Structure 1
Amino acid sequence: MSTLTKPNHIGRKISRIRELRDMKQEALAQALGTNQQAVSAMENSETIDDDKLKEVAKALGVTVEAIKNFSEEGVINYFNTIYDNDFSNSNGAIQSNNCSFNPLDKMMELVDENRKLYERLLEAEKEKNGYLERLFGEK
């Protein structure tokens, strides 16, 4: 029987959580103070002692219960729930997010504002230079 079909294969659950966290075995090994081969062996184990499981949970940033109760279906349901909440209204209809402004117009406003600020800075520098010239001219 493969590790994919065993529902309580704790090593496979650790492996999937690690993968979902975009963490390599080497990174988990470093966090646990061991080597990649030990992590590989652990991920192929059906059971792991509770103390080691606590260390792994901490390194992965999850709880021991999250590892024990992990399921692929739960992950899919979690992401489906997020998708449904973000993109559909209470009737289940997909909402579109249309901009109420033209992004290029906004960018051109920023360019114009930047130009005005530059001109003000340039004018202030000219005034400062004129003041310094008058100051040195008097001496």
Structure 2
Amino acid sequence: MNTHIEPKKVHQGRNIKRLREMLGVKQDTLATELNITQATMSKLEAKEEIDKNTLEKVAQILKIPVEAIENFNDEGALNFIANTFHSQDLHDTSVGFTFNFNPIDKIVELYSEKEALYERMIQEKNELIEKLLSK
């Protein structure tokens, strides 16, 4: 009986996409930095295995270690998120980048901005109705 379990193969292109999205980098921005088209970037993210030179360039642009792309998996992603966003020190440079904001605060800020915009739109609509009715 063979009890050897094959390690799950890592899809490097998918890992680039996941890490890029987690870092808030748009696909066309990364493509521009790599001097390739957005369509080529899309194809790169679909590849299971990517040459070492390209991995190094992507890692450098995203400011992450190459090993993050090579070894990233779902469990690692959960640990990455948990350790990054729940640690006391959000300026942990060991992962190659710095968070200088609290993601929850950012969500609240964006919600507040949208709410204020909505309030202004309602006020402008009411003013317009008043003007039309007063004529």
| Shorter-chain TM-score range | 0.5 to 0.7
- The runs of 5 or more residues in structure 2 that have no matched partner are 1-7, 89-135
Provide the rounded CA distance (Å) in 1 between the counterparts of 2:27 and 2:85: 29
Q: Is 2:20–2:26's contact at 8 Å kept on the other side of the alignment?
A: yes
Provide the rounded CA distance (Å) in 2 between the counterparts of 1:81 and 1:26: 28
In the TM superposition, residue 84 of structure 1 has moved relative to its aligned partner by 5.7
Paired AA for residue 34 in structure 1: I
- The runs of 5 or more residues in structure 1 that have no matched partner are 1-5, 87-139
Q: Does 1:52 align with 2:49?
A: no
Cα deviation 1:63-121 (Å, max 9, x = unaligned): 111111112212212333456655xxxxxxxxxxxxxxxxxxxxxxxxxxxxxxxxxxx
Provide the rounded CA distance (Å) in 1 between the counterparts of 2:87 and 2:27: 33
In the TM superposition, residue 59 of structure 1 has moved relative to its aligned partner by 1.3
How do 1:55-134 and structure 2 match up within 5 A?
A: 55-81=57-83, 85-86=87-88
Q: Does 1:43 align with 2:45?
A: yes
In the TM superposition, residue 10 of structure 1 has moved relative to its aligned partner by 0.6
Provide the rounded CA distance (Å) in 2 between the counterparts of 1:49 and 1:26: 20
Q: Does 1:32 align with 2:34?
A: yes
Q: 4+ runs of 1 displaced by more than 3 Å? A: 81-86
Q: Which has the larger radius of gyration?
A: 1
How many residue pairs end up in the alignment? 81
Q: Does 1:9 align with 2:11?
A: yes
Provide the rounded CA distance (Å) in 2 between the counterparts of 1:62 and 1:82: 14
RMSD (Å), alpha carbons? 1.9
Identity %: 40
Provide the rounded CA distance (Å) in 1 between the counterparts of 2:85 and 2:53: 36
